[in-house]
């Protein structure tokens, strides 16, 4: 119950941060960070993958409802939720196993978490921006938008993760 409330709190914080703050940031007119996938990155390793998938979908949907883009974010978050187990499997070194119900950053350390974040954010942003563009006519323009936004998102996610991590240490 406690863990449920904790993640509910994180959920609400993340969604509010995204829709109230990040959606309004438009650096140079087209760089927008999407930090809400922070929530999916944060889920403990032992979470069932089906649950992650559903949570991803619901997270995307809630962002969509706020930003008036039904389906766009939901499809992207569902996609990374689907890929999350495979990405974790690829990134895992030999003996580290998923015993803990701690969020990845606490059990794995920051450098591992950075790798993990970079991969997940890139996948998410690529999917999101091409779904948003919905065709490949301006392929490189979309790609550049996507990459710049991804860099920005990654930085923001890692900073917020560090803050969160430090709090946990205390």
Partner 1 sequence: MRSLLHFLTRIYFLLLFLLLEIFCLILIVNFNNYQKIVFTNSTNHFIGNIYKKSSTFYSVFNLKKINSDLAEENTRLRNKLEKTKVPNDTDSISADSAKYFFIASKVISNSVNQRNNHITLDKGIKDGIKEGMGIISPNGVVGIITNVSDHFSMGPTVINMKWKVSARIKKNNYFGSLSWDGKDYRYALLNEIPIHVKLNIGDTIVTSSYSSVFPEGYLIGKIESFNHKEGHNFYNIKIRLSTNFMTLRHVNIIKNFYYKELENLHRNRE
Task: By CB under 8 A, name the binding residues for partner 1.
Answer: 49-50, 53-54, 57, 60, 64, 69-72, 74-75, 78-79, 82, 131, 134-135
Q: How near is the Cβ of 65 to partner 1 at its closest, in Å?
A: 11
> Which tokens in the block code for residue 144?
């550049």
Q: Which is nearer to partner 1, 18 or 78 (CB)?
A: 78
Q: Is 43 exposed, middle or buried (0-12, 13-18, 19+ CB in 10 A)?
A: buried
Sign of CA dihedral 102, 107, 111, 115: negative
What SS3 class is residue 31?
Answer: strand
Q: How near is the Cβ of 96 to partner 1 at its closest, in Å?
A: 23
Q: How near is the Cβ of 72 to partner 1 at its closest, in Å?
A: 6
Q: How near is the Cβ of 160 to partner 1 at its closest, in Å?
A: 26
What SS3 class is residue 27?
Answer: strand
List the one residue out of 158, 134, 139, 119 whose CA is nearest residue 38: 158
Say how many CA atoms lie within 13 Å of 1 toward its Cβ: 0
Q: Which is nearer to partner 1, 11 or 82 (CB)?
A: 82
Q: Which is nearer to partner 1, 2 or 50 (CB)?
A: 50
Sign of CA dihedral 80, 81, 84, 86: negative
* DSSP conformational letter for 84: H
Q: Which is nearer to partner 1, 77 or 149 (CB)?
A: 77
Q: Which is nearer to partner 1, 53 or 108 (CB)?
A: 53
Q: How near is the Cβ of 102 to partner 1 at its closest, in Å?
A: 24
């Amino acid at each position: 119950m406690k863990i449920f409330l904790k993640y509910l709190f994180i959920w609400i914080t993340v969604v509010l941060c995204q829709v109230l703050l990040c959606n309004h940031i438009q650096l140079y007119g087209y760089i927008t960070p999407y930090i809400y996938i922070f929530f999916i990155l944060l889920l403990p390793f032992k979470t069932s993958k089906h649950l992650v998938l559903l949570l991803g979908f619901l997270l995307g949907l809630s962002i969509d409802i706020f930003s008036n883009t039904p389906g766009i974010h939901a499809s992207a978050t569902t996609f990374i939720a689907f890929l999350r187990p495979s990405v974790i499997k690829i990134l895992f070194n030999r003996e580290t196993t998923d015993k803990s119900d701690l969020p990845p950053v606490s059990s794995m350390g920051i450098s591992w978490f950075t790798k993990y974040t970079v991969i997940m954010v890139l996948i998410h942003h690529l999917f999101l921006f091409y779904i948003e563009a919905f065709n490949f006519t301006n392929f490189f323009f979309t790609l550049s938008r996507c990459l710049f936004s991804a860099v920005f998102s990654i930085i923001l996610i890692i900073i917020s993760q560090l803050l969160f991590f430090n709090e946990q240490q205390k």
